[in-house]
Amino acid sequence: MSGSQVPQVAFLGLIERWVQLQDGDPRLLKYNILGLKQHVLPLIYPHTLSGSFAFALYNPQPSERFNLVWRSDLGSEVGTIEIATTDPFTIEAGEPLITAKAPILRAEGPVVAVLPEGWVFLVFPLTEIKFMFNTPGSYHLYLKTDEGETKVGSPNMCRVNLPPLTEAKIAAIKSNPTAMKAVRLELRCNLCNDALRTYAGLERNPKQEEEGWIWYETLGDSFDCTCKKMSVDLTIIRSNLHGYLGREDSNVHEVSFIPAYEREALQNIRKNFRDLLDNGAPEEVIQKFIEENPVLLHPFSPKDLWFKAPVLTFCKTDFAILSHASELLLIELEKPQTRILKKDGGVHSELQHAFDQVRDWLHLADEHRQAFVECIGAEPKQVGAVKGTVIAGRDAGCNPNHLRKLKGADLGRTKFMTYDDLFASFEALLRALDKT
């Protein structure tokens, strides 16, 4: 302990991201860190930690080594860590920096300045070392010395309880072109090579199951390999594997992902939607096409998406969207042939009818807020505001100045857009994806 009454190592937590930068004097370095935490919330177990560990070292000496071991509450060992100092130096209090003692960045890592009897902050990247946690619970990190072991930190591996997928959530996931529509997980013993393969998706896939992948909801309680060296509790996987669906990133060690849309599929949606508009398809056909391809509603950022959602007992919306901005959006579709403006620039009666319909919905939402929201399928605590959108008509045939004035008008809680606006938003999305 170097004469100190405290352990020489303190575990500060897990860091999601970090970068080391020069700090004023180019010979000094500092850490910028993001996401320092003591609690880890994996969706499933087994879970392999990613990121970096944050430690504090007390008065480290040249060529000193610190040996640490992970153990669970039950005493099972997860893994070990060795921290070694290389070519450190000290700076006496009040002593100016000199080149011979200045911090530099070397191939094996940064060299830091250490004041006598002081603490040094250290980031330990989890790159070569992989720590796998089989079950949730508290895990403890012990510093091993000649005098014995001392606990220096106890991060918690937590369990997340996810609700099952709803039709509204599935539709919202399908509205995101970069989301994942399926996830697969393989558990394999390194000794006997026995394996279990399971998958989750927006819908079951018979072809996957013919290839030996098991639908996650039908898993048993546990998997034990042939040699009995690997035993995994499957109950958390069975209840939570679908939680990866809808993610936009695939940087997870345990699972592999299948994207919701290939580029060719998105291009086909674009072409078919344009053909329907240009050929004057009726409103019902347009609505059915959007239901089958909810990615067209991506501009509204759906968190949940309902088709033909009820407005109490009076009527139904064409679409209702709970956005990631906590707005409940009530969407009224009219046919592409809807007349938008009169010759004098005023709103045509056909479009005004749609505005009146949405305003009636908003009035009911104000008068019966909780019942209105619950009837659609949302939770009142999730909704910050209720708004409306009318999608009707085409730009062609309208006076450009009058149309621009209408689109820019303050319509209160109601927004207006033409089918050309919806199509343009989808085209902009495809252009953005093409750049990635």
CA distance 211 to 217: 17
Q: Return the CATH number of 263-431, one of 3.40.50.300, 3.40.640.10, 3.30.9.40, 3.40.1350.10.
A: 3.40.1350.10
Question: Which H helix or E strand runs over 197?
Answer: strand 195-201
Task: Identify any residues that bridge with 11 across adjacent strands, giving them in sequence order.
Answer: 55
106 CB-side CA count, 13 A: 10
pLDDT digits (tens, 9 = 90+) for 105-150: 343 444 455 666 778 888 888 877 788 888 899 999 999 988 889 9
How many Cβ atoms from other residues are within 10 Å of residue 417's Cβ? 17
Question: Which H helix or E strand runs over 401?
Answer: helix 400-408
CA distance 403 to 340: 8
Nearest residue to 337 via CA among 406, 400, 394, 276: 394
Longest dimension (CA), the chain: 92
Q: What is the dihedral of CA 312, 323, 284, 365, to 10 degrees?
A: 20
Residue 399, SS3 per DSSP:
coil
pLDDT digits (tens, 9 = 90+) for 406-416: 999 999 999 99
Q: What is the pLDDT of residue 127?
A: 78
Q: Identify whether the C-beta of residue 139 lies closer than 8 Å to the C-beta of residue 157.
A: yes
**How is the chain split into domains, by residue range?**
9-157, 178-259, 263-431
Q: What is the pLDDT of residue 99?
A: 41
Q: What is the pLDDT of residue 108?
A: 43
CA distance 331 to 324: 16
pTM of the model: 0.80
Alpha-carbon separation of residue 271 from 171, 174, 266, 424 (angstroms): 21, 18, 9, 12
Task: Tell me 295's DSSP state.
Answer: G
Q: What phi-psi label fits residue 109: left (phi over 0), alpha (psi between -120 and 50 degrees) or beta?
A: left
CA distance 246 to 103: 45
Task: Calculate the CA 220 to chain-centre distance.
Answer: 28
Q: What is the pLDDT along the chain (436 residues), one digit of tens a residue?
A: 444 467 889 999 999 999 888 777 665 678 899 999 999 999 999 888 888 999 998 888 777 888 999 998 888 888 898 888 765 444 444 444 444 444 433 434 444 556 667 788 888 888 777 888 888 999 999 999 888 899 999 999 999 999 999 999 999 999 999 888 999 999 988 889 999 999 999 999 999 999 999 999 999 999 999 998 888 999 999 999 999 998 876 666 678 888 878 889 999 999 999 999 999 999 999 999 999 999 999 999 999 999 999 988 888 999 999 999 999 999 999 999 999 999 999 999 999 999 999 999 999 999 999 999 999 999 999 999 999 999 999 999 899 999 999 999 999 999 999 999 999 999 999 998 887 6
